[in-house]
Chain A
Amino acid sequence: MDRRQFLRTALLAGAGVYCFSGRGFAAEAGGSKKKLFWILLRGGMDGIGCLAPVGDPYFEVLRPDIDPDLLLPLESDFALHQNLAGLAGLYRNGELALLPAVATAYRNRSHFDAQKIIENGSADPGLRSGWMNRCLARLEGGALALGQDVPLSLRGEYDAANWAPPIRGGARDDFLERLQRMYGPNGDYADLLRAAITMREQSDDAMSDTRQRRASFAQDCEVAARLALENGSQLVALDFTGWDTHAQQGTVQGKFARQMTQLDQGILALKKTLGKEWRNSLVIVASEFGRTAAYNGTAGTDHGTAGTLIAAGGGLENFGGRVLGDWPGLSGRTLYQQRDIYPANDMNAWLMRLIAPHLNIDPSWMRRVVFPV
């Protein structure tokens, strides 16, 4: 299938929006250029729910709902969430590395500023260009974002293409849930919305086959990989939301567990779609911050500091099959402000360590221009 044919199929299938103005199309299509996929888990992923420090004596105390025997053991004192079987397989193949207790320079707990900082690669939420965009100065290929708009990580001097998966099935459940909570239990807005949601659920049940829900994260990954192969993009940014688990987190069986499944399927979809280009690809999954070590009063976790970074792909060099960095421990004394995972590993330093050799960018230039902290 040639590029045009694929795009046509993709557009017909999705009726999404494709912006052709990006630099991606100026570059030669295809080829085996090194690729970087940056997946931002917006909302703050619970790092120790994903990568459990089972060797830490405090872990069982903080997370009594998790049975360590059911997790997927890694070589050291860590184990992966039981729904990450695909990632565990990659780990055994040396195609996955994990970095716990990682944080940007940001120490407050606002999603918005934290996301700005992880995306612009600095310590200043006001900086308006993204670290990936600045990388483009040293790359031949272009950049691609999956989403309605180009995220901050890819904004700046160079244009990036973007493709928006179609919005079907209406507002996202998470948004509607929050809207209901904002409206509160009583009042006309609360009543109206409750009535409408009930009606929609009933009609969903009645027409579950015909009504298409929003595309899954794995579908996003597949589309992103195919577009990147077609247009020769070297940098690709994807968003994955739904990590802000303040109440009923469901680490083992609920919402968080389902998010883990989706994440696992997403990475596997990237690998499958990229095919032999997987060995030229590096996938980095990170979140703006981690969450509190202990559960709160509503079986959830609140905004924290350090979280977990996942790196996958054939481009991991000698990092593959390892748990990287320092582990600060979970005792009350070592927690950051007695509540969060301590930021033992610096996000930008590790991004640089992982990315510079893969993309063959001079590390000292990268330190100066891409991650100027």
Chain B
Amino acid sequence: MDSAALIAANRFGYGPAPGELERIRGPRDYLRAQLAAGAELPAYLAAQDSSKSIFIAMRAQRMQKKKGSGERLVKNARDTYLRQAGARQRWAAESPQGLRERLVHFWSNHFAVSIDKPQVLPLAFTMEQEAIRPNITGNFADLLGAAIRHPAMLLYLDNTQSFGPRSRAGRRRKRGLNENLAREILELHTLGVGGGYKQADVRELAKAITGWTVGSARFRPEKTGEFVFAEPVHEPGSVTVLARRYADSGEVQGSRILRDLALHPSTAKHLAHKLAVHFVDDNPPNEFVKQLAEVYLDSGGELLPLYHALIDADEAWDAGGSKFRTPVEFVTASFRGLQIRQGRFLPSLRALGQVPFKPGSPAGWPDNSAHWKTPAALLARADWSDEVADKQAFSIDLEQWMDETMAGLFSDRTRLWVGRAETTAQGLALALMSPEFQQR
């Protein structure tokens, strides 16, 4: 088996599904073809409720004002989340376009919202579906614009509560700016923490995006659950961000700033570094990151050329997975490789410490091995592997799985100990816990 095929499946996807390695003739073409083809989406994902319909349903429930309707609202939100998150993880394990799912999750984590804020609970997934997924192969500016405008983001980072102090509504209700979203746009989504912005830039950007909010019963009820620009909340006047002046043109003022931020060299470097860390190595070579950033800027912020540069780079094909899989990656690779349909994703991810859409901060989940590779995490994975292998052992031919599905992955040492195992279940658990399977 071509070891490049393994790298294509492991480093760029969620690990091989049965028969997948055989189909990978040219690993680079295999990955490019996934990006060129249209995105596939199964019915169980496409049929999930949109953010708009969720808002409308919640509004209807709130209007009832019956006894216990508050609890029902919370329960419904929770049920919605569980359905969505389960379907999302299932597709990661089943999709024939592993690279696409990895990119969706990468950008979803880049624009992280966290469900520990109750309003976000039923919406985090809809943001991934509506704002991230359709934009992963387009221009970053569009992805950025869609993510920032999504109700989940506007609620999560408090922009719905940000008022221009001199706006009509701000003066009347004596409300002011909330800088939360503006700060994270600069620090996390675009320039990066050392990207050359100052506190004044945060404030100016915050002013520019006042009025970016969500339609509700109180404002534009016909647009409930959708992005709306609320002129009465918008801070009048021009703003200056990164020494550039933007005249007040309503909603367009913020959009223009986002477009310029998307093409800033600091943004290019920030995104290139994050992608290289995610797909290649915790400490990617500076020169490599620089090359990726140049590709990004040369194309005017197009993402596809950036991915192609990543796929073409020799650095991405160095043998040996150096990244310790995150819990999501480990569980998904296990379920995918073992063809566990409808696996128990959420209990697994809870046990292993990575509940979907709950990174706990707008910075998202850490993407370095050191964060995940800890004694407790390894033991938790051993517990999990022992249990899961017990369930799978009777429906798997372990030798065939190692020889074919995972061809070329396991070291002689692992094979020796798997071969010595007392039961198929124990052998499978050892294989799942091997360094080769824990890394990508």
Contact = CB atoms under 8 A, between A and B. Distances in A.
Contacts of A183: 435
Nearest to A155: B394
B185 to A, nearest CB: 37
Contacts of A147: 390
B414 A149 contact: no
Interface stretch (A89-97, A165-173, A219-227, A326-334): A165-173
Nearest to A239: B423
Contacts of B398: 112
Contacts of B434: 182
B65 to A, nearest CB: 37
Given A182-B417, A182-B430, A193 B382 contact: yes
Nearest to B414: A182
Nearest to B419: A110
Interface residues of A, number: 42
A246 to B, nearest CB: 8
B200 interface: no
Among B376, B392, B394, residue most surrounded by chain A Cβ atoms (within 10 Å): B394
A152 B424 CA distance: 12
Contact of A111 (B376, B423, B433): B423
B376 A196 contact: yes
Interface string A139-175: 0000000011111100100000000000100111011
Contacts of B433: 179, 182
A221 to B, nearest CB: 18
Interface string A269-309: 00000000000000000000000000000000000000000
A118 to B, nearest CB: 13
A111 B398 CA distance: 12
A175 B426 contact: yes
Nearest to A151: B394
Contacts of A242: 422
B384 to A, nearest CB: 8
B290 interface: no
Nearest to A195: B375
Contacts of B392: 149
Nearest to A147: B390
B419 A115 contact: no
Contacts of B383: 167, 170-171
A300 B394 CA distance: 28
B378 A112 contact: no
Contact of A42 (B376, B395, B413, B423): B423
Given A182-B434, A244-B422, A148 B390 contact: yes
Given A112-B398, A182-B413, A182-B414, A176 B382 contact: yes
B424 A196 contact: no
B376 A43 contact: no
A175 B427 contact: no
A4 interface: no
Contacts of A167: 383, 386-387, 390
Interface string B307-344: 00000000000000000000000000000000000000
Contacts of A349: none
Interface string B417-440: 101111110110110011100100
Interface of A: 42-44, 110-112, 115, 147-152, 155, 167, 170-172, 174-176, 178-179, 181-184, 188-189, 192-193, 195-197, 199-200, 239, 241-244, 246
13 contacts: A42-B422, A115-B423, A148-B391, A149-B390, A167-B386, A171-B383, A171-B385, A171-B387, A175-B382, A178-B420, A179-B430, A196-B375, A199-B375
A-B pairs, 8 with minimum CB distance: A196-B375, A196-B379, A43-B422, A244-B422, A182-B417, A171-B386, A170-B383, A195-B375
